[in-house]
Amino acid sequence: MVRTLYGSRIRSQATFRTSFLADLLGQLLVVSTEFLELWVILTQVSTLGGMTLTQVAVVYGLGALAFGIGDILFGEIDGLSTQIKSGKLETLLIRPVPVLLQISSLDLSLRRIGRIVVGLAMYVTALVLAGFQPTAATLLLAVLAPLAGALLFGALFTVAGALQFWLVDGREFANAFTYGGNYVATTPGAVFALPLRAFFTFVIPATLIAYAPTLTLLELPGPALIPAWAGWLGLPAAIVAWLLAGLLWRAGIRRYTGAGG
């Protein structure tokens, strides 16, 4: 059933081929520009948070890849307030399938694949250039990290979406939440002052998505609060985040049936 749901979205996208291509190119441009900004900063200071350009590129590529996968699978959830206002949510509630799954497959935007492509290319290339020495364990981490990161982003999207059960005009707020998370994830965590770093590691675990795994993969010493083994914390953090997100979502649905929009 999950396959039918997502598969049909892909089919509907394929019918708009030209706009799809335009969107894809746009995405490539956005991602490249973002990285260019980081690069410009690096030409000024030569290291960012103790990392060289290639090392930053690993963080950036991994973060973009994780965000890309998370966005393509769960990115629609933060548009929940639109579904509530248009009454679409009511039609989702009368089906025997969890609303969360229906919404996440509602608009599987293939154009978002651009970010995944760029992220993946950058991640792999930069890893090689940065002198990644794979062992069985670190190779596993290299594969696991983008997936755990995607799950973390998914949980973040779900929290942002669930909050809209309370804040009906919450899309802007949600965007700040998720795209802010993306910004933090693609930036070396050491550049943040300690309180902020703690916040983005333990509250919104964005540094665990790309920065911490990069430290572990490249065997770099971490800054205070983010030890090298923190790279392995992505998956457990994702599980905890999903538990919380799931609870919040259920509370949101209960609030909706109680208040009625």
Ligand X SMILES: Nc1ncnc2c1ncn2[C@@H]1O[C@H](COP(=O)(O)OP(=O)(O)OP(=O)(O)O)[C@@H](O)[C@H]1O
Q: Give the footprint of another protein on residues 76-115 (CB under 8 A).
A: 87-88, 90-91, 93-98
For residue 211, the minimal CB distance to another protein (Å) is 38
Q: Which residues contact 106 (CB under 8 A, 6 or more apart)?
A: 9, 76, 83
Residue 45 or 259 having the CB closest to another protein: 259
Gap between the Cα atoms of 206 and 189, Å rounded: 9
Q: Of the two residues 11 and 17, which places its CB atom closer to another protein in the complex?
A: 11
| 257 contact, one of another protein, ligand X, none, CB 5-8 Å limit per kind | another protein
260 binds ligand X (CB under 6 A): yes
| Cβ-based nearer residue to ligand X, 85 or 250 | 85
* Residue among 26, 134, 236, 261 that touches ligand X (CB under 6 A): 261
Residue pair 161/73 in contact by the 8 Å Cβ criterion: no
Smallest distance from the beta carbon of 6 to another protein, in angstroms?
10
> Considering only CA atoms, which of 59, 99, 60 is closest in space to residue 76?
99
3-state secondary structure 198-257: HHHHHHCCHHHCCHHHHHHHCCCCCCCCCCHHHHHHHHHHHHHHHHHHHHHHHHHHHHHH
Using CB under 8 A, list all residues that contact another protein. Answer: 1, 4-5, 8, 11-12, 15-16, 87-88, 90-91, 93-98, 257-260
